[in-house]
Structure 1
Amino acid sequence: MDWKKYEKEIFEHFNGQYPNAEITLDAKKDGMFSKTKRQIDILIEQYVAGNRIVIAVDGKYFNKKVDVKAVESYISMLEDIGAHKGLLISKEGFTEAAYNRAHFGATEIELEILNFKDLHLFQSHGAIPYAGINGALVPSPFGWVLDGQTTPAWLATLYLQGRTLNEAMQDNEFMYIQFWDRLKDGDSLEDLLRFQESMFKDADPECSIEFLPTIKRENEKTKLRVSNIKNYPTREYTGFVEFEDFIFFCVMFSPVNRSKSNIRKLENIMEAVLPIKIEHQNANKSMQPIANASAD
């Protein structure tokens, strides 16, 4: 794949992600300060609450990690064209200094890794984790993959594309998905939050818990919790969606200099996840799960 094909792959991804936006490939925009035409790989323009929002996307098809100088140059371009947000995408990743410059600066910029190499075994850009008859349609956020390998601790995990689960856990940048069955005891989201808080207090009496403003869904309660717990690798961020028969929750760990971007990815999952019912058929004495098209 050359850089032109890489750019087109990115363009097609955003066409799907922003169906109601005006998206231009290889756009030109007047610089407010440079007084010259600036080239933008992908320009996304969309009205939100009556305001026109401009997002600039630039793909770096480098064979090495993008450094802080490239990030600073991109921030300067964003200011020149009056963009509200920038997405800088690299196939090989970014240096720590680049992540720090993006996270701690005032400009709204996200650094994303997207590599269209073959996915590893069990990885995909979306999956249906399930427990018993409860399942969920879960899309993976941009630049991440969903790993369908299950353990007693989780039904699925998510992490940056191009990594393995072990690598993601070593870097303290991953999510895992779990369900809480509401039909057993009739528990509500508040019941689950109280139960988990008591477990946190048992593990660390001085732990701190707070709830952040987050996305809202029309028919389901949502919560976004952040917990500081001793001996945890990072802050624990957990997004909850209360469905009729179960509570979906996704737990995330993230380095500080990627937390703003990764919280948005967690919220994307909370916004997009859909409940489904799983029917099991007995075939050759093994249970074969089949997703029922009807959601809760």
Structure 2
Amino acid sequence: MSPTGIQLKRYEQSLTRLLAAFDHAHVVYNRRHDGRLSGAPRHVQVMIHGAVAGLPLTVAVECRQQHRPVGISCVEHFVAKLEDLGADRGVLYSCAGFTVAAGNRAAHTHDPAVLAISIGEPAAPRIPRQRRGGSGTSADYAHFLRYPAV
């Protein structure tokens, strides 16, 4: 499924907000990075290396463009990729949203933390991020990047 113009615009706006949360950022698009665990090259759509609140941080970003909501196996595959790459955080976008199980898996993944964001129709729910002291919206990038997942 190819994303619509509206979905692409939401994706671009969301990435812009994400990058604005960094003090400094080096962004690499559509490249292969060697897995630190597997030694195999892993394709990443967007890899951000930078600093947030003076601390170095690496975030991998991917977007799933499928007709059905992203399932738990896709989220688990993304978590494994983040671990292999040594990324501190990951942001997973979906054009069709997430199943409840996939949203729960993303929200409760802590090392590395995963943020699941739906860029589907406006009525599509965004997956809440579970944190100590309350929950925020999935677009709460500053909190997601600045503090360790709990």
Do the two structures share a fold, i.e. TM-score over 0.5?
A: yes
What is the SS of the residue equivalent to 1:260? strand
Contact 1:7 1:59 in 2 (8 A): no
1:15–1:23 contact (8 Å) kept in structure 2: no
Q: How does 1:27-38 map to 2 (within 5 A)?
A: 27-38=31-42
The alpha-carbon distance between structure 1 residues 30 and 12, as it changes in their structure 2 partners (threshold 3 A), is: farther
**Cα distance in 2 between the residues matched to 1:102 and 1:266:** 14
Given the two structures, how large is their TM-score scaled by the length of structure 1? 0.39
2:136 alignment partner in structure 1: 263
Which one-letter code corresponds to 2:2 in the other structure? D
Distance of 1:72 and 1:61 partners within structure 2? 17
- Which residue of 111, 115, 130 maps to 1:110? 115
Q: 8 Å contact 2:103–2:116 — kept in the other structure?
A: yes
Contact 1:27-1:39 within 8 A present in 2 as well = yes
Shift of 1:4: 10
Stretches (4+) displaced over 4 A = 3-9, 264-269
Q: How does 1:277-292 map to 2 (within 5 A)?
A: none
**Is the 2:10–2:119 Cα contact (8 Å) retained in structure 1?**
no
Identity %: 24
| SS of structure 1 residue aligned to 2:97 | coil
- Go from structure 1 to structure 2 and tell me whether the alpha carbon gap of 1:78 and 1:114 turns closer, same or farther (over 3 Å shift): same
Partner of 1:2: 2
1:52-97: CA deviations, max 9, x gaps? 2011111000000110000110000000001111111101111111
CA distance in 2, matches of 1:112, 1:266: 7
The 2-side partners of 1:82 and 1:60 are apart by 21
More strand by share: 1
Aligned residues: 134
Tell me the residue number matched to 1:14: 15
Tell me, yes or no, if the aligned pair for 1:11 and 1:42 is still in contact at 8 Å: no
Name the larger-Rg structure.
1
SS in 1 for 2:128: helix
In the TM superposition, what is the alpha-carbon distance from 1:43 to its structure 2 partner? 1.1
Question: Which of the pair has the greater relative contact order for Cα pairs under 8 Å at 6+ separation?
Answer: 2
Q: 1:77 to 1:100 in 2, by over 3 A?
A: same
Provide the aligned C-alpha RMSD in A. 3.2
The structure 2 residue matched to 1:57, chosen from 57, 61, 65, is 61
Residues 39/73 of structure 1: CA separation in 2 closer, same or farther (3 Å cut): same
Q: Is 2:111 aligned against 1:162?
A: no
Cα distance change, pair 4–56 in 1 and its aligned pair in 2 (3 A): farther
Tell me the CA shift for residue 36 of structure 1.
Answer: 1.4
Tell me, yes or no, if the aligned pair for 1:88 and 1:109 is still in contact at 8 Å: yes
Match of 1:124 in 2: none
TM-score (norm 2): 0.71
* Alignment partners' CA distance in 1, 2:55 and 2:35: 20
List runs of 5+ in structure 2 lacking aligned partners: 143-150
Structure 1 gap segments, 5+ residues each? 118-160, 174-256, 270-296
Q: Structure 1 residues 27 and 4 mapped into 2: Cα distance closer, same or farther (>3 Å)?
A: farther
